[in-house]
Structure 1
Amino acid sequence: MNHTPSPMASLYHEGRQTFTELVPDGGARLDALFHTVPALGELAVGVVYGHLHARPGLDPRLREAVSFAAIVASGMVGPPLSVHLKTGLASGLAPGEMTEVLLQASAFAGFPRAVSAAEQLNRLFDESGLASPPAPTPREIALEFCEQVRGGHAPMPVSAAVKRLLKHARQLALQASSAHAVIVECFEDEPSPRALLRLEVQGEQVVSVTLFKAH
């Protein structure tokens, strides 16, 4: 008899491992959720966390943001919302980014579904010990910091090179890479950035600035 695991069983095993790495009580949560219909758990976890989560086309933060928006748009305020709040945070989304995704989704999904999700988030934030409302997003905090430096009012000590780069930049492009880090591209007249900066964000302030590259 062939005892080779089926492709779906292998995906479920991989997906379950990924989920338990993201959610501390993930294994117990999956067992409780799919206790009556374990085959549904094998299918859902295998597809979402075994197959889709491992695809290289999107980084985990963006994939979770898309998932969270789809859940809000679908009006799912039960386990899916709770689960993807946890996996979104574990994948590097900041709480403020999760609420910003909900706000964006409300314009397309409709306010009733968004309000229902917001009501559920009140409870979920409280249960998770998260500040409510959350702090501004890392990108917002980084953008404000850059504008303060460009205006000659740096809120923390920064090097002369960083001040010069930010003040002379014709355009800034900011991209959060995690819940605590933002990459800033500084453009002058060239099509490629003259410098890359990494801003570390803690709470509602930038705590460090690192110059990655300059030419």
Structure 2
Amino acid sequence: MSDVLDEAAVGIIRDFILAHTGILFDDRHTHDLCRHITSACTDLKIPPETCVQQVNDSSFQVRFLEVLVKYITIGETYFFRDKNLFLYLRDSLLPDLIRSRRQEHKLYLRIWSAACSSGEEPYSLAILLRYLLVDVDDWDIYLLATDINQQMLNRAQEGIYSRWSFRDDPLIPVGSFFSPTPDNRMKIDDSVRTMVRFERMNLIHDSSFYNALGPSSLDLILCR
């Protein structure tokens, strides 16, 4: 438990986080939660007890949540994470979908990577599509990537990654899609970067996009 916040106060913030993000901190992670609250309040230059007192104020909620998500969201990701998933996409789902669209003479794909973090997943999808589609430039591809953490989205839009983001087998040749930077990182090629549209979205509250399109308008949704 925090030296500043008692159990009731921590419970208030825990409920706030769950209601506004869907992220649950159970009792095993109370220490981590207290640390995140303290970090967010430090950024806001507000004592933690004041954050608790103001957490029901709608104007404060926006600022508090924007800062808090930097600490409570998990940024663990890398290119072609979950090999079995990408093998299935490469060998089955996407080829079948592409074949069907060709037969229908409807060259379009609609894909949503929700909770995309720093962008490795949607860029992996874009690379995979460029690998599978020899005529990729003739296709209308809508690849939306969303996350609640604006800091992570900024990194994704920059498209520069450390070698650690390539720690698993990419399943396909990816060398042509990246170029090295002077500081020994890898920058994604513009042909891939421009395929992905990044937007900040809270999956709990920002349902207008999904409601407008409907699930039948999307060919693939990844949310992990």
TM-score, normalising length from structure 2?
Answer: 0.28
